[in-house]
Amino acid sequence: MTNILNIRSITKFYGKIRALHEVSFDVPPGSVYGVLGPNGSGKTTLLGIVMDVLQSSGGEYAWFGQPPSSRHRRQIGTLLETPNFYHYLSGERNLKIAAAIKGHGEEDIPRVLETVKLTGRRHSKFSTYSLGMKQRLAIASCLLGNPSVLVFDEPTNGLDPVGIAETRQLILDLSREGKTILLASHLLDEVEKVCSHVAILQKGQLLMAGHVNEVLTNEDYVELGARDMQKLAALLSGYPGVRQVKPYEQSLQVYFEQNNADLDGINQYCFENGVVLNHLQLRKRSLESKFMELTNT
* Residues at the site binding another protein, with contacts judged by CB under 8 A: 48, 51-55, 69-71, 73-74, 78, 80, 82, 84-89, 93, 96-98, 100-103, 141
Residue 240 to residue 237: CA distance in whole angstroms = 8
Q: Which pairing describes strands 149-153 and 180-185: parallel, antiparallel, or unpaired?
A: parallel
Residue 5 to residue 200: CA distance in whole angstroms = 17
- Rounded to a whole number of angstroms, the minimum distance from the CB of residue 169 to another protein is 25
Of the chain, the end-to-end C-alpha distance in Å amounts to 37
- Rounded to a whole number of angstroms, the minimum distance from the CB of residue 129 to another protein is 13
- Rounded to a whole number of angstroms, the minimum distance from the CB of residue 122 to another protein is 14
Nearer to another protein, 49 or 222 (CB): 49
Nearer to another protein, 20 or 270 (CB): 20
Nearer to another protein, 101 or 263 (CB): 101
- Rounded to a whole number of angstroms, the minimum distance from the CB of residue 196 to another protein is 24
Nearer to another protein, 27 or 95 (CB): 95
83 burial (CB, 10 Å; 0-12 / 13-18 / 19+) is buried
- Rounded to a whole number of angstroms, the minimum distance from the CB of residue 69 to another protein is 8
Strand partners, 5: 27, 63
Q: 212, 81, 220: which is closest to 158 by C-alpha?
A: 81
Nearer to another protein, 10 or 54 (CB): 54
